[in-house]
A and B are shown apart, each in its own frame.
Chain A
Amino acid sequence: MTTDSITRQRTPIALISITIVAIGVVLFVLNLMLGSVSIPFEEFKEAVFGDATSTYHAIIFDYRLPQAITALLAGIGLSVSGLLMQTLFSNPLADPSLLGISSGSSLGVALVVLLAGGLGGVSVGTWALWSTFGVAMAAFAGAFLVLMLVLALSSRLRNMVSLILVGIMIAYIAGSVTDILKFFSQKEGLHSFVIWGMGSFSNVGKAQLPFFAATILIGIVGSFLLFKTLNLLLLGERYAENLGVNIRRSSMLIILVSGFLTAIITAFCGPIAFLGLAVPHIARFLFRSSDHKLLIPATAFIGMDLALFCNLIARLPSFEGNLPVNSVTALIGAPIVLWVIFHRQKVLK
């Protein structure tokens, strides 16, 4: 057999990719049309392309468009972040919250919303409700501190399992301090903390959107630059090292990129569960591949679709627009993961 005669089987990558993007476009438009007020298609067209003074125009551009873009970006960021974690720790259950970063942001929010309310004696909780940007900053500060702590510890630990344990312990500490703060806090503060914890894509206003988009974009570009390292890590640490990977430096970089994405998204949208865990599995399963050059964009686009879909469900007219995103992502994400687990045996031939 000559080398030219080796025939390669191909997964229909182009077809699947086009389908995923097409679904994304449809979901995006539906996100703009549907909600507590459903906009008929004719009037939607007119509001978007024609009459800038209609009420629909304002609903679409001031409220729904930023929300849809936020959902899309958060879906992309969390999913890619989850993929990075799963590869780094070679653990299919890893997700962006693994290193305690979401717990760190919860603590940050708790400190500002709950403690400030308790100390001031005034209703800071109400203040926090309108100052979503303040809450986001507190969440980011908490997440960033945990991220720095994990990075500092990761430079001392060679073993990935130890690093996971460190992350889980940090999450416990942050969680219990948050609980203690909750115990001492006032009703109003507690309320806005719980609201933040349910997750929402509607907190990023038009003004913050460019900043949010830019940071997610930086994170995604950073992830893509790591794809060679990620592919080599799939072979195992010793093989990766033999192929020129500096394990310690690479794992710090991966944690930095993944943690940065998680920190930014959690800060603005609350701790969104399950997207980061589920989407990489869907991507691997659909594309039958572990190649990160393909998986990173695939995960990003599927994450976009799923986040838009979850946002749509959470805002369905019958729910009066306020179902917590977190319960929707888990409700949709968990069965998908189960389905993938039960179907992937077939892939192995």
Chain B
Amino acid sequence: MNEVLHTKDLLIGYNGQALMPEINVCLNEGDIVALAGPNGSGKTTLFKTLSSTLKPVGGEVSLFGKPLTDYSPTERSSLFSLVLTEKPDDLFLKVFDIVAAGRYPHLGLLARLRADDKKIIYDSLETVGISHLVDRNFVSLSDGEQQKVMIAKALVQDTPLIFMDEPAAFLDYPSKIELVNIMHKLSREKKKTILFSSHDLDLLLRHADVMWVVAPQQPLRLGTPKILVGQGIIDMYFKPIVAKEEFFWMN
């Protein structure tokens, strides 16, 4: 197994304050790992630290055996791609333009798309099943379709590692299943390594292979959903939310 990412005594947080104890995890080629935790548990903080948006409070993130900080922004753009919760909101931005932008790190000064670049763009649109939307304005699409556009953008960027921040949020159930299927297809056919975050317990328990579970001031725990449930970790880490919801229904 080829190692893609590992962390060494990583401390995440803001202003020198660590959110949770040291994190030592690793991702191998083709892994699909779910970063799970209730809202406000530090998922996004860990995400931003792994994708070099945030500096770690302590410790180190390594990609392909080299510290993240040793890579230039251009080098990083060919190592990992992002699918984020924030979406482009420009009114005239076309699906094709967004996906083509993912190809920019591979293009020259004039960003001229060669025939093989176009093929990669069309292939990626087809992989996620939105070929028919190529000339639509991005803002006119549904949440599920927009999510697929951003995944297609990540695909044409052609990076071994893809980070997806809450990709299932705002999706209806069929779209969630479709998303999970797309992720498995990418891992199986294209050997992509995917780390996605979610607070959707239902989705995680049914469809995640491996989970990293986080909560404030708790050590990160990892395992299959079955093992984590068996150990009572899910119960403990997600408890505060469940309790609040029960309280809400009782009223």
Contact = CB atoms under 8 A, between A and B. Distances in A.
Contact of B76 (A9, A231, A244, A289): A244
Contacts of B105: 243-244
Nearest to B85: A238
Interface string B88-126: 111111101110011011010111000000010011011
A243 B91 contact: no
A159 to B, nearest CB: 14
B86 A238 contact: yes
A344 B107 CA distance: 32
A8 B81 contact: no
Given A1-B126, A8-B134, A9-B135, A243 B90 contact: no
A187 interface: no
A119 interface: no
Interface residues of A, number: 33
A119 B106 CA distance: 61
B90 to A, nearest CB: 5
Contacts of B86: 236, 238
Contacts of A6: 122, 125, 131, 134
B240 interface: no
Interface class of chain B by DSSP: mixed
B139 A348 contact: yes
Interface string A328-349: 0000000000000000100111
Nearest to B136: A349
A290 B96 contact: no
The residue in A241, A244, A245 that gathers the most chain B C-beta atoms within 10 A of its C-beta is A244
Contacts of B49: none
B53 A288 contact: no
Given A8-B96, A227-B111, A236-B88, A1 B131 contact: yes
B24 interface: no
B90 A90 contact: yes
The residue in A8, A239, A347 that gathers the most chain B C-beta atoms within 10 A of its C-beta is A239
A347 B137 contact: yes
Interface of B: 51, 53, 73-74, 76-77, 80-82, 84, 86-94, 96-98, 101-102, 104-105, 107, 109-111, 119, 122-123, 125-126, 131, 134-135, 137, 139-140, 153, 157
